[in-house]
Amino acid sequence: MAEATRGLKRAPHRRIGGMKAVVADPTGGPENLQSMELPTPTPGEGEVLIKLQAIGVNFIDVYFREGLYRAPERPVRLGNEGAGTVEAVGKGVHLRPGQRVAYAMARGSYAEYATVPAKFVVEVPDSVSLDDTAAVMLQGMTAHYLTHSTFKLERGNTCLIHAAAGGAGLLTVQMAKIAGATVIGTCSTEAKAQLAREHGADHMILYTKQDFLEEVKRITGGKGVAVVYDSVGKTTFHKGLDCLSPRGMMVSFGQSSGPVGEMDPLLLSQKGSLFLTRPSLANYISSRDELDWRASDIFKWIGEGRLRLQIHKTYKLEDAAQAHRDLEGRKTTGKLLLKP
């Protein structure tokens, strides 16, 4: 009754007390990930308490674990993506306990429960499983904004997608094909190249063995590409600028090999009046309309069989350190999930 007066609605079966969570304590290598018991959070105004069924692992979790991206709290809560059912809601939230929901870009999903601002939460249609949803929210909406907003691909465009067999990569390849573009991808092994081809890539380059600039010039007849989607950073960024045709766009959206470092804007002029952007998903789902547009396209394309999900492996929550080792060790393709 006291809760009802605070505007809190709860599911009847909720476990009272603590929950399992994995945190970085202190920041550093995967060995610093620790399982601990934390109090089950209570949703505040505008928040949803979600009982997580599946948790997405993303490279951004590595950056928070290492301390490259700074978190204010100690120990550092990890995980930016999850899917599950509504357990309770705070005041002003129009969701009901038991509803199937998912979200990305609110930290703290390496746990049994997470409180998430309702503005990040979408309802999941019955046609899509919660595991598949946890595998596609963050990287799928990223692939969507890259190909449909940052540089809106059209038929006739050729794009270069680095790490094309990775989580964000395989989804970006497929969405670039949905937009009608020609896709050149890069990756480190023939097995990864084969997987990316199976997901629609037109040309694959093994950037660990071949010079990707020479290959791009050869494939495009010297013209270069309209856009480079670069999540690798340090080892690919500068050569990527040379792959662009005049007035092309470098979309530097990650740094799996390390930070790019500083760059003089004059270089963009010298290399053909290029555009450079360093986008973040948060700025592309900041309005409800944009979030709903991206999520609904993704659910629709999964339903139509146009978007195929590649789940590399599902780990137990307490094995998050191994998931990080595998991701950083370039051993994975597609998505890694944790199960609480």
Q: CB of residue 140 vs ligand NDP: minimum separation in angstroms?
A: 10
Structure tokens at 247: 């007035």
- Contacts with ligand NDP in 187-216 (CB under 6 A)? 187-188, 192
Cα separation of 288 and 321, whole Å? 34
Using CB under 6 A, pick the residue from 281, 321, 337, 338 that binds ligand NDP: 281
* Torsion over CA: 141, 147, 148, 150 (sign): positive
Cα separation of 131 and 104, whole Å? 14
- Candidate segments 82-90, 135-143, 197-205, 268-276, binder of ligand NDP by CB under 6 A: 135-143
**Which CA distances in Å does 337 have to 62, 310, 327?**
14, 11, 11
Q: Which is nearer to ligand NDP, 113 or 229 (CB)?
A: 229
Using CB under 6 A, pick the residue from 277, 280, 286, 287 that binds ligand NDP: 280
Using CB under 6 A, pick the residue from 166, 200, 240, 340 that binds ligand NDP: 166
Using CB under 6 A, pick the residue from 147, 231, 310, 314 that binds ligand NDP: 231
Using CB under 6 A, pick the residue from 172, 182, 255, 314 that binds ligand NDP: 255
Q: Which is nearer to ligand NDP, 53 or 58 (CB)?
A: 58
Q: Is 169 in the site for ligand NDP (CB under 6 A)?
A: yes
Q: Is 135 in the site for ligand NDP (CB under 6 A)?
A: no
Using CB under 6 A, pick the residue from 167, 200, 224, 240 that binds ligand NDP: 167
Structure tokens at 189: 């092994």
> Cβ(139)–Cβ(309) under 8 Å?
no
Q: Is 254 in the site for ligand NDP (CB under 6 A)?
A: yes
Q: Is 330 in the site for ligand NDP (CB under 6 A)?
A: yes
Q: Is 150 in the site for ligand NDP (CB under 6 A)?
A: no
Q: Is 173 exposed, middle or buried (0-12, 13-18, 19+ CB in 10 A)?
A: buried
Cα separation of 82 and 294, whole Å? 16
Give the closest residue to 64 by CA, choosing from 18, 114, 22: 22
User: Residues 54-73 vs ligand NDP: string with x where CB under 6 A?
Assistant: ----xxx-------------
Q: Is 165 in the site for ligand NDP (CB under 6 A)?
A: yes
Binding site for ligand NDP (CB under 6 A): 58-60, 138-139, 142, 163, 165-169, 187-188, 192, 231-232, 235, 253-257, 279-281, 327-328, 330, 332
